[in-house]
A and B are shown apart, each in its own frame.
Chain A
Amino acid sequence: MISLGFISAGSIQAGGAGGFDPLLPGLILLLPLLGFALNGALALVSGRRSADRVRNSIPEEDHTAGSVPLTHSLPTWIGPGVLLGAFVLTAINFVRLLGVELTEPVIRSYWSWMPTGTLSVDAAIQLDQLSMIMMMVITGVGFLIHVFSVGYMKEDPGYPRYFAYLNLFVFFMLVLVAGANFPVMFVGWEGVGLCSYLLIGFWFQDREKADAGKKAFIVNRVGDFGLLMAMFLLFATFGTLDYGAIFAAAPDTLLYGGGIVTAITLFLLLGAVGKSAQIPLYVWLPDAMAGPTPVSALIHAATMVTAGVYLVARASVLFALAPVSAAAVATIGALTALFAATIALKQYDIKKVLAYSTVSQLGFMFMGVGVGAYAAGVFHLMTHAFFKALLFLGAGAVIHSMHHALHSTHKDWDAQDMRNMGGLRRFMPITWITMWAATLAIAGIWPFAGFFSKDEIIWYVGTAGAFSGLYVVLWGIALAAAVLTAFYMTRMMIMTFHGPNRTGEPESRHLHEAPLNMTIPLGILAVLSVFGGWINVPGSVRESFFGGFGVLPMSDWLDRWLAPVTQSADAVRASQLGAYADVAPVGGGHVVWGAIATVMALVVVIVTARYFLSQPIQPAHEDGEPDRGIGKVLYNKWYVDELYDAIIVRPLIGVSRWCWRVIDRVLIDGTVNAVGSVSKGVGWFGSLFQTGQVNTYAFILALSALAVLGAFIF
């Protein structure tokens, strides 16, 4: 009935082609789950202890001094430990897969999850090139962030709970990318949302943070609704929900550009938009910064928010069959990229800048997968995971340091406001240098990782102009967004690390570089941010400056790696749309535009840096908010939250109240009570005949008897 050989056994249903025999794939998922169970148990123990303290008004334990209880020392090893184990296992499997020509995914099915009679869904995972590379990113970057968290969260009373959630998140994220069918993927999909909810509201005693978690969950549920509908449509069309069966049958079953496939993909897109924080559902991500900073790095930059991109890449065949939906993906991506970038221009909270930057970069990925450059989208997903995780962790180190400095004199300044920082490079050189590496990467400057991935996306969007004029417009938007990226990132770096220090003299003495367990992850990520892009240097331009005149290795590696996953989508697009153009919409080849992009970014970085260095910056409490013009609008994020509040949230609550007060109470209960009242009234009328006088009764009795007799006689 149940195959309990979760770890080693599991039946191989399909694939195994090319001799790829994965090593304990189930254990990769199981390890983080085990970590969750252990850390969760510790969290409950420590939670109860701390609850006793709260009840008896004893201050929280201070773990910085004296002995650390077991509940706080064990998670240090369990949390990152299980991730390391998962990463090593993934890496072993990845290396094994490297030498293999795998055309069919390897599927491990553990038990039959929902056998209803007509539907059969297995709890199964699927290993192929796409899921393996996602798992590498998740476990690899995840491990680094876990290590960083040890330093960052050490003093928090909720330390074990933190690691429990973080481990659980990794488990669900792995389920998401490894699931072999839509429902299993959906388990991961909502599971990561749940963990995101718990982690955003990690410091739940702060109302704003708890609100942010709630908002993230509810907005995500809108997307989940889309995914549900897509699954229903898929089942109605194909009678199954397994990836393999659906994607194999899709090109023959579905009409190109037909209504069904368009509906399916638009619903999938709704799901992707929710999870990947695209217009119009991006509003939760900036608020999600309420969570601990490593969480923002892991969940809200590197992994969970890229799930939408993964989904589109996974269902690439369907999107290829639905040109309208694909165009919608690209358009939403482009609009989001530009829109979020404009907001990032005017934010002062270092994490908010990074949050909007993430939204913007996710827009780039959407553009990529929208125009059919699935590998480019996944490529940017990967490099973005490196440099954005680095930026968030660096920001975490800065906030950590700022927090200590401000805490030392009990100054109530905002530790995240960049206006209160400045000149931090003297105090935190490693953080400074690594974050610059990431900034140059995200700005798209050759030869940093982001250059290759972003350039590839922009190039594909431009050359997709051959299919439709729409993509020419999107190409322009993408270029503009790229320029803005360079601008706001440089602004952030200058305000944070350069110029005079604005923290205050007594405080600045407490500013310090982060400890080793935080800087080492930064260093590793910095290396990846610099070199990570070299795995996919476009082969066609390898001999130019692009490929370092032929020096950079591994040209087109990722494209070739992902080819088995995207080949059917590529085939559909090629047969229906033809080839991409080989020049940009306004002329110029790939090399030219690569050079233009990197020079442009460099110029923007330099000009912006000079501008902000010359600009006097006031600490937050002296500066105040911009009060007029476009600056005010951008600072207030285009008032989108206010707009949603006015047109969705408030009306919904109003309607709900009205339903309750009017329909439920007045209409329905009113009717029910009216029936009761009428019955009572009739009873009262009848009781009028009950005089209580025996004679009356006897008289009526006699009359009635006579009447009956009379009836018999006549």
Chain B
Amino acid sequence: MLAEALILSAILFVIGMLGVLVRRNVIIMFLCIELMLNAVNLSFVALSRFIGIEGQIYVFFVMTVAAAEAAVGLAIIISIFRHYETVDVNNFNLLKW
């Protein structure tokens, strides 16, 4: 049972990661990050059955952080969209220097 859960988690994580790397739309990338987080959550939950309750606690942490991240991230995206009228990351290079 554990193995299946971890494999699913890994598949979800890779899908998420590829999404982040390949897609250009910020919203999609954002969703992919959420996917990765939840993939990790899945492995936490699965492992907590065998190792201990801490894994489930961490899941709560991750969910909280993800929620906060979503709030901040979406706010940034909206303000960027208002400015550039696009959500294509190729147009954003403010991180340079």
User: A: which residues have CB within 8 A of B?
Assistant: 687, 690-695, 697-699, 702
A691 to B29, CA, bound (A): 18
Taking a contact as CB atoms under 8 Å apart, the answer to whether A693 and B93 are in contact is yes
Give B81-97 interface residues, CB cut-off 8 Å to A: 89-90, 92-97
Min CB distance B12 to A, Å, is 15
A698 to B24, CA, bound (A): 12
A199 to B29, CA, bound (A): 89
12 contacts between A and B (CB under 8 A): A690-B95, A690-B96, A692-B96, A692-B97, A693-B89, A693-B95, A695-B21, A695-B24, A698-B20, A699-B21, A702-B17, A702-B21
Min CB distance A708 to B, Å, is 15
Across the A-B interface, give the 5 residue pairs with the lowest CB-CB distance, nearest first: A692-B93, A692-B96, A692-B95, A694-B89, A690-B96
Min CB distance A350 to B, Å, is 80
User: Out of B90, B95, B97, which one reaches A697, CB within 8 Å?
Assistant: B95
B94 — nearest CB in chain A belongs to which residue?
Answer: A692
Q: Find chain A residues with CB under 8 A from B29 CB.
A: 694
A691 to B94, CA, bound (A): 9
Q: Find chain B residues with CB under 8 A from A697 CB.
A: 95
Q: Find chain B residues with CB under 8 A from A692 CB.
A: 92-97
Of the listed residues A690, A695, A699, A702, the one surrounded by the most CB atoms of chain B closer than 10 A to its CB is A695
Taking a contact as CB atoms under 8 Å apart, the answer to whether B90 and A693 are in contact is yes
Dominant SS among interface residues on chain A:
helix
Q: Find chain A residues with CB under 8 A from B17 CB.
A: 702
Min CB distance B30 to A, Å, is 11
Q: Find chain B residues with CB under 8 A from A691 CB.
A: 93, 96
A694 to B21, CA, bound (A): 9
Q: Find chain A residues with CB under 8 A from B89 CB.
A: 693-695
A697 to B94, CA, bound (A): 13
Q: A699-B21, A702-B17, A702-B21 are in contact. Are A694 and B92 (CB under 8 A)?
A: yes
A702 to B18, CA, bound (A): 10
B32 — nearest CB in chain A belongs to which residue?
Answer: A698
Taking a contact as CB atoms under 8 Å apart, the answer to whether A687 and B97 are in contact is yes
A702 to B95, CA, bound (A): 18
A693 — nearest CB in chain B belongs to which residue?
Answer: B93
Q: Find chain A residues with CB under 8 A from B93 CB.
A: 691-693
B96 — nearest CB in chain A belongs to which residue?
Answer: A692
A693 to B89, CA, bound (A): 7
User: Can you list, as one digit per residue, whether each of B63-97 has a CB less than 8 Å from chain A (1) or not (0)?
Assistant: 00000000000000000000000000110111111
Q: Find chain B residues with CB under 8 A from A695 CB.
A: 21, 24, 89-90
Q: Find chain B residues with CB under 8 A from A699 CB.
A: 21
B93 — nearest CB in chain A belongs to which residue?
Answer: A692
A699 to B22, CA, bound (A): 9
A692 to B92, CA, bound (A): 7
A694 to B80, CA, bound (A): 14
User: Can you list, as one digit per residue, whether each of B4-32 has a CB less than 8 Å from chain A (1) or not (0)?
Assistant: 00000000000001001100100001000
Q: Find chain A residues with CB under 8 A from B96 CB.
A: 687, 690-692
B23 — nearest CB in chain A belongs to which residue?
Answer: A695
Min CB distance A660 to B, Å, is 38
Q: Find chain B residues with CB under 8 A from A702 CB.
A: 17, 21
B89 — nearest CB in chain A belongs to which residue?
Answer: A694
A243 to B74, CA, bound (A): 93
Taking a contact as CB atoms under 8 Å apart, the answer to whether A690 and B92 are in contact is no
B18 — nearest CB in chain A belongs to which residue?
Answer: A702
